[in-house]
Amino acid sequence: MTTQDHSIAEARERLLAERAQVQSELEQLRARLETKGDYGLGEGDPMIYQWELNLALAERAEQHLAEIEQALEQLQLGVYGRCERCGKPIEPERLAVLSHTTVCSQCAQRRR
Ligand SMILES: [Zn+2]
C-alpha cells in the first residue's frame, strides 16, 4: 500500500463518517420542519424564526451532503484531491480539515 492509497482510504472513511453525520442532522431538521403545521405558525410568531433557522440549516446540510457525494465520486474516479480549477493537487492540510473540498486553497481564495 502506497502512502497515497493510504490517504485515499483515510479520506474515504472520513467522508463516509461525515456523510452519516450530516444525513442524521438533516433528518432531524426535516422532522422539526414538518412540525410547522402542528403549531399553526403565522407571520410574526416567534416560533417562525426558529423554523426559518432550521430551514436554512437544512439547506446548508443538503449542500454539504452534495459536496461530500461529489468528493466520494472523485475518490471512485481516482481524481480525488485534485483542484477542479487549476488541476494541481489540493494541499493535504486543507483536505484534512475540509475533506469534501474540490478546489485548492489558492483557487478558493480567488473565488471570493
Ligand atoms: Zn486550484
Q: How far apart are CA 103 and CA 89, in angstroms?
A: 9
What residues does each domain of the chain span?
3-80
Q: Cα of 85 to ligand 1 centre, how many Å?
A: 5
Residues with Cβ–ion distance below 5 A, ligand 1:
83, 85-86, 104, 107
Q: Cα of 82 to ligand 1 centre, how many Å?
A: 8
Q: Cα of 106 to ligand 1 centre, how many Å?
A: 6
Q: Residue 2 has what pLDDT?
A: 63
Instruction: Output the average pLDDT for the chain.
Output: 87
Model confidence pTM above 0.95:
no
Q: For residue range 66-97, what is the model confidence (pLDDT) as tens digits?
A: 999 999 998 888 888 999 899 999 998 998 88
Q: Find where cell 502506497 sits.
A: 2
Task: Give the list of residues 6+ apart from residue 30 with CB closer than 8 angstroms, or none.
Answer: 58
Task: Give the list of residues 6+ apart from residue 70 with CB closer than 8 angstroms, or none.
Answer: 100, 102
Q: Cα of 10 to ligand 1 centre, how many Å?
A: 22
Q: Which secondary structure element, helix H or strand E, spans residue 56, and what is its range?
A: helix 46-77
